[in-house]
């Protein structure tokens, strides 16, 4: 034989009928009996005058230390300085919220709840992402995109250390000292494009001077102009040479040989 379903507790309407009968001085016990309320429940309703159930579970406001305002303050502290310690943030909370004492474990738990985790600190220069530099990057991207739409011949070039030397692997020195030899830095400059691949390159011993860099820009221009790809597909277009802000590239616009169909496009900082 199936078990009959368990009856739920009395509804708010049933309790209200009992309470109304009590307030009218009627036989509220009889009303409670006909509505299925136990005598204990009926007594509690008429004694408290409440028909709604009290909320169960959750935080009690009188015992909650970390209120939404404290959580917002913790997030503000971390956003202002990611290197604040838990002890420092505990002191900040005590100073900003009078009489509020929150443990470091509690602060750590709430930070983890907001998905803040410990990471290696990365140093970012003050001017790295300021408004001026962001605007320069935007302008560079807009100009580069415009040259691409115009069908211009775009070349990218840069330089890097290439410290590979042709030397003897054995030498003599005093016992306890290294056998070392001093050689100038070996650097390679390279220019590439989507159409030609490798446009040109050269090796340079020692640091690259501004005049040497300007001469290399002229080499890039002449190499592009003499290529068959230029003659077949880019006649009448511009040669756009993209460069960065390395020290050797300073004053390139002033030192390079000027051509009517050449544009130097400097990457934003």
Q: How many Å is the Cα radius of gyration of the chain?
A: 40
Q: Are residues 90 and 147 in the same domain?
A: no
pLDDT at 61 over 60: no
The whole-number pLDDT of residue 32 equals 86
Q: Is residue 71 part of a domain?
A: yes
Q: Are residues 259 and 151 in the same domain?
A: yes
Q: Is residue 220 part of a domain?
A: yes
pLDDT at 3 over 90: no
Q: Are residues 77 and 157 in the same domain?
A: no
- Domain residues for 39? 12-48
The whole-number pLDDT of residue 199 equals 95
The whole-number pLDDT of residue 64 equals 58
The whole-number pLDDT of residue 146 equals 96
Q: pLDDT tens digits, residue range 210-251?
A: 999 999 999 999 999 999 999 999 989 999 999 998 888 988
Q: Is residue 126 part of a domain?
A: no
Q: pLDDT tens digits, residue range 125-175?
A: 777 788 888 999 999 999 999 999 999 999 999 998 876 666 777 888 888
Provide mean pLDDT across the span 99-109. 90
* Mean of pLDDT over the chain: 87
Q: Is residue 227 part of a domain?
A: yes
Token pair belonging to 55: 């909320």
- For the chain, the domain total comes to 3
Q: Are residues 248 and 155 in the same domain?
A: yes
Q: Is residue 170 part of a domain?
A: no
Q: Are residues 146 and 258 in the same domain?
A: yes
Q: Are residues 189 and 214 in the same domain?
A: yes
Q: Are residues 260 and 225 in the same domain?
A: yes
Q: Are residues 23 and 109 in the same domain?
A: no
| Dihedral class, residue 126 (left if φ above 0, else alpha if ψ from -120 to 50, else beta) | alpha
Q: Are residues 138 and 242 in the same domain?
A: yes
Q: Are residues 74 and 143 in the same domain?
A: no
pLDDT at 206 over 90: no
Contact 25, 15 (CB under 8 A): no
Q: Are residues 253 and 158 in the same domain?
A: yes
Q: Is residue 177 part of a domain?
A: no
Q: Is residue 244 part of a domain?
A: yes
Provide mean pLDDT across the span 242-261. 91
Q: Are residues 188 and 135 in the same domain?
A: yes
């Amino acid at each position: 034989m199936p078990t009959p379903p368990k009856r739920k507790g009395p509804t708010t309407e049933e309790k209200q009928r009992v309470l109304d009968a009590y307030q009218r001085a009627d036989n509220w016990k009889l009303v409670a009996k006909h509505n299925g309320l136990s005598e204990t429940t009926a007594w509690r309703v008429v004694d408290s005058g409440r028909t709604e159930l009290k909320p169960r579970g959750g935080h009690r406001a009188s015992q909650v230390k970390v209120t939404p305002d404290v959580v917002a303050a913790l997030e503000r502290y971390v956003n202002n300085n990611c290197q604040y310690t838990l002890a420092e943030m505990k002191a900040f909370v005590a100073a900003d919220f009078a009489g509020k004492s929150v443990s470091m474990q509690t602060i750590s738990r709430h930070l983890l709840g907001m998905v803040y985790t410990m990471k290696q600190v990365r140093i970012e220069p003050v001017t790295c992402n300021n408004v001026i530099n962001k605007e320069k990057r935007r302008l560079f991207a807009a100009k580069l995109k415009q040259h691409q739409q115009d069908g211009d011949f775009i070349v990218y070039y840069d330089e890097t250390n290439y410290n590979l030397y042709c030397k003897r692997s054995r030498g003599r020195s005093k016992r306890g000292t290294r056998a070392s030899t001093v050689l100038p830095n070996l650097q390679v400059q390279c220019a590439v494009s989507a159409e030609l691949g490798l446009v040109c390159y050269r090796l340079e011993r020692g640091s690259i001077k501004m005049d040497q860099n300007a001469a290399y820009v002229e080499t890039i221009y002449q190499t592009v102009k003499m290529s068959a790809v230029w003659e077949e597909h880019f006649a009448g277009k511009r040669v756009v040479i993209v460069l960065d802000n390395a020290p050797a590239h300073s004053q390139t616009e002033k030192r390079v040989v000027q051509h009517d169909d050449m544009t130097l496009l400097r990457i934003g900082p």
